[in-house]
Structures are given as C-alpha cells and as structure tokens.
C-alpha cells in the first residue's frame, strides 16, 4: 500500500494539472478572440479614416448655414477623443 500522504499529494497534483490544462484551453480561446478584435479595430479605424473628412466637411457646411457669423468650424484634429492618424485621407484604398 502506498503512503496516504503521497496519495493525497498525487491527487492534488492531478487536480492542479487538470486546472492548468483548462486554463491553457481558455488562453487559446482568448488569443483567438483578441486576434479577431484586433482585425475589427483595424477595420473600424480604416472606415473612420475614409468618412472623417467628408463628415467634418458636411458638419462645417451645416455650421456655416446655421451660424453664419460665428465662424464655428470643426477642425478634424481638434475633435475630443478622436483618434489621431499619421496622415490625412488622400484616397480610399492604400
């Protein structure tokens, strides 16, 4: 017969090993989800780059009509919480 303390240690080691295996499986799922989310964020940033110049141009046109004497123009680079990009939109596709 094996030592009861040794048996208890082996059982606990088996439980720990099973938990580590489950964590490794979850980590793999998280890595896949993170990759998918990264692709989505890049896509959203690409769309934002495409629409931000026309959007703010339209907003400035509306502001000029609504408030002709105020000179309230929206500068794309001054919009709070707007992402800053290294270059302006020059064409739709890179």
What pLDDT, on a 0 to 100 scale, did the predictor assign at position 82?
58
What pLDDT, on a 0 to 100 scale, did the predictor assign at position 76?
57
Structure tokens at 51: 């629409």
Global confidence as pTM = 0.47
What pLDDT, on a 0 to 100 scale, did the predictor assign at position 26?
94
Per-residue pLDDT 10s for the chain (94 aa) are 569 999 999 999 999 999 999 999 999 999 888 888 988 888 898 888 888 888 888 887 777 777 766 666 656 556 555 555 444 434 334 3
What pLDDT, on a 0 to 100 scale, did the predictor assign at position 1?
54
């Amino acid at each position: 017969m094996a030592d009861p303390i040794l048996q208890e240690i082996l059982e606990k080691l088996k439980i720990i090993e099973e938990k580590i295996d489950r964590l490794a499986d979850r980590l793999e799922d998280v890595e896949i989800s993170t990759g998918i989310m990264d692709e989505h964020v890049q896509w959203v940033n690409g769309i934002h780059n495409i629409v931000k110049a026309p959007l703010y141009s339209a907003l400035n046109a509306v502001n000029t009509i609504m408030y002709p004497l105020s000179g309230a123009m929206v500068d794309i680079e001054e919009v709070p919480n707007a992402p800053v990009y290294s270059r302006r939109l020059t064409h739709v596709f890179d």
